[in-house]
Amino acid sequence: MKNTQNTGEVNETPSSSDNIKLQFEDIVKSFREDGNDTRVLDGIDLHVREGEFVSILGPSGSGKSTLFLLLGGLYRPDHGRIMLDGRDIAGKRGLVSYMPQDSAMFPWRTVEQNAALPLQLDGVPARTALSMARSALQKAGLEGYERSLPHQLSGGMQQRAAFVRALLGRRDVMCLDEPFAALDALTRQEMQHWLLNQWEQERRTVLFVTHSIEEALYLSDRLYVLSAKPTQVLQEIAVPFPRPRDRRLLLEPQFAALRGQLYELLLSAKEEEGARHD
Ligand SMILES: Nc1ncnc2c1ncn2[C@@H]1O[C@H](COP(=O)(O)OP(=O)(O)OP(=O)(O)O)[C@@H](O)[C@H]1O
Ligand SMILES: [Mg+2]
């Protein structure tokens, strides 16, 4: 994989030796709207290596959540393959962990019961699952809240609990769909920092969707920028900043340069969409 200068832009396809965990190959997906087929995804190629943190940035409606629903097996692609560990998993469910935008906790289950759920679904006995959930919640700074109900936690704490639940799902790949979008700015920063620390310890393979350029640059190893629909990958960018990272990174000129480059790219995608509708 070649890194073209300091812009971080990459322009070579992965070779088989690149330790690819997950790969979308030429994915096409249309939906029927008002009697017409609207093509949303128009040949998406993207990949995530083992232990890599990859973000997807793209205009609203470009099909980011659709990509996750395809990956989760809830939709089937019209064309193309979704490869996990070299196997086509299109249409298969339960192979990846998923954390949606809202924390989606069951309100009648305690925080630890919620977190233990994926373990129990995997057949781990309830007592063991609960004790694993408890210790993971404590590590995530939620000690004392294990037996609370979700509504008794702040938005940020609920997101943490949801993240712990996704981690406990023990799937190799975690998909996070705008997990911090509903949070206020300060809590969002705290959660980014917390997620970064957790991830730097765990090194799980992560596919992350966000609307925030800063968030994508701060957290990711690599990112993909999508066009408006019919959606294609506009650019793949390797994020060149070393880890561990902290927020001082945001003050560095190279960070600002990449942020500017991405902003221009997303703006042009939106303008193109606007022009198509005129
Ligand atoms: N089940 C469906 N039936 C019809 N159209 C759908 C369906 N699911 C998604 N779409 C359409 O596909 C497009 C992409 O939707 P999707 O939710 O994937 O976008 P997104 O990139 O996640 O947007 P956002 O950033 O706003 O979350 C939208 O135009 C949406 O209307
Ligand atoms: Mg979405």
| 135 close to 169: Cβ distance less than 8 angstroms | no
Instruction: Report which ligand 1 atom has the smallest distance to the Cα of 68.
Output: 18
Residue of 30, 65, 98 to test ligand 1 pocket, by largest number of atoms within 8 Å of CB = 65
Instruction: Report which ligand 1 atom has the smallest distance to the Cα of 63.
Output: 18
212 ligand 1 Cβ < 6 A: no
- Which pLDDT does position 101 carry in this prediction? 67
Instruction: Report which ligand 1 atom has the smallest distance to the Cα of 32.
Output: 4
Residue of 27, 40, 68 to test ligand 1 pocket, by largest number of atoms within 8 Å of CB = 40
Please give the average per-residue pLDDT across 241-264, as a whole number.
95
* Sign, Cα dihedral of 198, 204, 208, 213: positive
Please give the average per-residue pLDDT across 193-212, as a whole number.
90
| 87 close to 93: Cβ distance less than 8 angstroms | no
Q: Per CATH, which fold does 5-96+172-277 belong to?
A: Rossmann fold (3.40.50)
Residue 14 per-residue DSSP state = P
What digits encode the pLDDT tens for the residues 159-168? 889 888 988 8
Q: Mean pLDDT over all residues of the chain?
A: 89
What digits encode the pLDDT tens for the residues 49-68? 999 999 999 999 999 999 99
Calpha distance 264→270 (Å, rounded):
10
What digits encode the pLDDT tens for the residues 225-244? 999 999 999 999 999 999 99
**Per-residue pLDDT band at 202 (split at 50, 70, 90):** confident
- Which pLDDT does position 278 carry in this prediction? 63
Going by C-beta distance under 8 Å and a sequence separation of 6 or more, which residues neighbour residue 50?
Answer: 19, 20, 21, 172, 205
- Which pLDDT does position 29 carry in this prediction? 98
**Per-residue pLDDT band at 4 (split at 50, 70, 90):** very low
64 ligand 1 Cβ < 6 A: yes
Give me ligand 1 centre to Cα 56, in Å: 15
33 ligand 1 Cβ < 6 A: yes
Calpha distance 228→218 (Å, rounded):
24
63 ligand 1 Cβ < 6 A: yes
SS3 readout for 185-235: HHHHHHHHHHHHHHHHHHCCEEEEECCCHHHHHHHCCEEEEECCCCECEEE
- Which pLDDT does position 186 carry in this prediction? 87
Calpha distance 250→254 (Å, rounded):
9
Residue of 30, 64, 273 to test ligand 1 pocket, by largest number of atoms within 8 Å of CB = 64
Q: Lowest mean pLDDT: which of 144-153, 187-196, 249-258?
A: 187-196
The DSSP code sequence of 16-58 is GGG-EEEEEEEEEEEEEETTEEEEEEEEEEEEEETT-EEEEE-
- Which pLDDT does position 1 carry in this prediction? 38
Q: Is the peptide bond before 100 cis (omega within 30 degrees of 0)?
A: no
Percent of the chain predicted with pLDDT > 70: 92
Domain boundary assignment for the chain: 5-96+172-277, 106-170
138 ligand 1 Cβ < 6 A: no
Please give the average per-residue pLDDT across 144-165, as a whole number.
91
Nearest CA to ligand 1 atom 16: 63
244: Cα within 13 Å, side-chain hemisphere: 11
Helix axes of 126-139 and 111-121: crossing angle, nearest 10 degrees: 130
Calpha distance 18→20 (Å, rounded):
6
Nearest CA to ligand 1 atom 4: 31
Residue 76 per-residue DSSP state = -
- Which pLDDT does position 10 carry in this prediction? 66
Please give the average per-residue pLDDT across 244-248, as a whole number.
92
Percent of the chain predicted with pLDDT > 90: 63
- Most trustworthy range by pLDDT among 12-16, 75-79, 91-95: 75-79
What digits encode the pLDDT tens for the residues 15-49? 555 799 999 999 999 999 888 999 999 999 999 99
- Which pLDDT does position 277 carry in this prediction? 66
Sheet holding 20-33, edge to edge: 36-49, 20-33, 79-84, 87-88
Nearest CA to ligand 1 atom 13: 61
- Which pLDDT does position 265 carry in this prediction? 94
Residue with tokens 């600002």: 256
- Which pLDDT does position 15 carry in this prediction? 57
